[in-house]
Amino acid sequence: MSTNLPAGKPPGDRLRASNRRTAFVLLAIAATFFVGIIGSRFIGGQAAGIGVLGGAAVLFLVVAIGRNLCDKR
């Protein structure tokens, strides 16, 4: 998990921002498991599993490309 801190801010703020990002990602994992285990009862295990993995891949690409574009600006 990345600990890169956004530049141009005081160290304390950057650390807090990094902590918040880490916590958000972890909360998202927890939420995915909770929603997934119940949701899989309605849409089926395969659909839920593929949906989660596919969503994670798409999200990763969006974040990676988005950060790359922001850095270039």
Partner 1 sequence: MSTIAHDHPAGLGDPHAHDDHAHHPTGITRWLTTTNHKDIGTMYLWFSFTMFLVGGTMAMVIRAELFQPGLQIVDPEFFNSMTTLHGLIMVFGAIMPAAVGFANWQIPLMIGAPDMAFARMNNWSFWLLPPAAMLLVISLFVPGGAASGGWTLYPPLTIQTGMGMDLTIFAIHILGASSIMGSINIITTILNLRAPGMTLMRMPLFCWTWLITAYLLIAVMPVLAGAVTMLLTDRHFGTTFFNAAGGGDPVLFQHVFWFFGHPEVYIIILPAFGIVSQIIPAFSRKPLFGYASMVYATAGIAILSFIVWAHHMFTTGMPTAGLLFFMYATMLIAVPTGVKVFNWLATMWRGSMTFEAPMLFAIGFLFLFTLGGFTGLILSVMPVDVQMQDTYYVVAHFHYVMVAGSLFAFFGGAYYWIPKWSGTMYNETLAKVHFWSSLISFNVAFFPMHFLGLAGMPRRIPDYAQQFADWNMVSSIGAFWFGASQLLFLHSMIQCARGNGSKAPARPWEGANTLEWTVPSPAPYHTFETPPHVH
- Chain residues binding partner 1 by CB under 8 A are 1, 3, 15, 18-19, 22-23, 26-27, 29-31, 33-34, 37-38, 41
Q: Which residue has the tokens 């972890």?
A: 26
* DSSP codes of every residue in 6-48: -TTS-HHHHHHHHHHHHHHHHHHHHHHHHHHHHHHHHH-HHHH
Q: How far is the CB of 13 from partner 1 (least distance, A)?
A: 13
Q: Which is nearer to partner 1, 2 or 68 (CB)?
A: 2
Q: How far is the CB of 47 from partner 1 (least distance, A)?
A: 16
